[in-house]
Amino acid sequence: MKKIKTGTMLKDKIMTTIFYEPSTRTKCSFQAAMLRLGGSIIDINVDQSSVQKGETLEDTIRTVSCYSDAIVLRHPRKSAVTDAAKVTEIPIINAGDGVGEHPTQALLDLFTIKNELGLGSMTITMVGDLKNGRTVHSLAKLLTRFCGIRLIYISPKELSMPNDIVEYLNPFIEQRTDVSLEDAIKVTDVLYVTRIQKERETCEYEPYAITPELLKSAKKKMIVMHPLPRQSELPPDLDDDPRAAYFRQVENGLYMRMAILDYVVKKF
C-alpha cells in the first residue's frame, strides 16, 4: 500500500464518512486511503444534515447505504456502530464508538509495533486514561492474539482499565497495575500514552508527563506511541527522540486503512 499513490483498486466505489465526534487523523486518513485506491468519497457533515432535524442514526445509515459501498462511522455511543450495521448490507467500519472501541486504530498500532520492534515477547505499558480511551481497549484485545505480551497499566485509580476488558484478557495476558511509571519505564518496550479524555469525565486529573528526563532510564530500543491528539502528557521536546513513534504511527494509519478498505470493499 505504501507504493500506491494513484491506484485503481476501488475505482467506481464510494465511501461515506459520518463522524458524530471530532476527528482529524481517522477521518482524513480514511478519505486519503480511499482516494489513493481510486475511489470517491462523500463526507456527511452532521451539523448540516437531517440529524439536526432529529433523524435517527438508523435512518441516516439506511439512506447513506443507497449511495455508498462502505460507511466509516464514528459515534459517541458505545456499540452504536454495531447497532448501525444491523440496518444495512454494506460494510460499516467502526471509527470509534464512544468509550467502546477503535479497531482500525488498534490495527495500525499493531502494524507500527510490528514494523518498529517485531512482534515477539515484550512489555507494553499503557499510560493515562485507560477507562475512557477506546484505543487502548481495542489494542489490548487485539494483543491477546499474540504470545509473550505483558501489559502494565498506569492510570489514576478512577481511570483504570474497565473490568470487562481485564477479564477478557486474563486467560491470555499477564496484566499488572502495581508498578510505578518510573519502574515500568525501565522494562518497557512499547510505552503507549493516552490523553485524559476531558470530554468524557467531569473530574480533573493531573496527566502523567512523559518527559525526556523520564525516558533517560528507558531502553535504547523501545518506542513511545500515542494515538493523538496529545496534550501535556507528551511534551513536544520529546519529538526529536528517535524512540518517539507517534508520527510514524500517523503515517501507518494511511497504509493500514488502505488495506482495510481494499479488503472490506472488495469482499462485499
Position 138 contacts ligand NCD (CB under 6 A): no
For the sheet containing 122-127, what is the strand order? Answer: 174-176, 149-154, 122-127, 190-193, 223-225
Residues 87-126 that bind ligand NCD (CB under 6 A): 96, 102, 105
* DSSP assignment letter at 207: P
In the list 4, 9, 25, 42, the residue contacting ligand NCD (rule: CB under 6 A) is 25
For residues 167 and 221, is the Cβ–Cβ distance under 8 A?
Answer: no
Tell whether residue 75 is a contact of ligand NCD (CB under 6 A): no
CA Rg, the chain, in Å?
A: 19
In the complex with ligand NCD, which residue's Cβ is closer, 91 or 96? Answer: 96
Beta-ladder partners of 191: 125, 224
**Residues 256, 225, 72: CA angle, nearest 5 degrees:** 35
Please, what is the minimum distance in Å from the beta carbon of residue 80 to ligand NCD?
A: 14
Residue closer to ligand NCD by CB (options 149, 225) is 225
Q: Is residue 227 close enough to count as binding ligand NCD by CB under 6 A?
A: yes
**Based on CB atoms, which residue is closest to ligand NCD, 228 or 234?**
228
Q: Is 135 in the site for ligand NCD (CB under 6 A)?
A: yes
Q: Kindly tell me which residue out of 36, 75, 131, 134 binds ligand NCD, with binding defined by CB under 6 A.
A: 134
Interaction of residue 195 with ligand NCD, rule CB under 6 A: yes
d(CA 126, CA 8): 39
Catalytic center residues: 25-26, 53, 74, 102
Preceding amide of 229 cis, omega within 30: yes
The Cα 251–Cα 201 span in angstroms is 30
Q: Give the binding site for ligand NCD (CB under 6 A).
A: 25-26, 96, 102, 105, 134-135, 195, 227-228
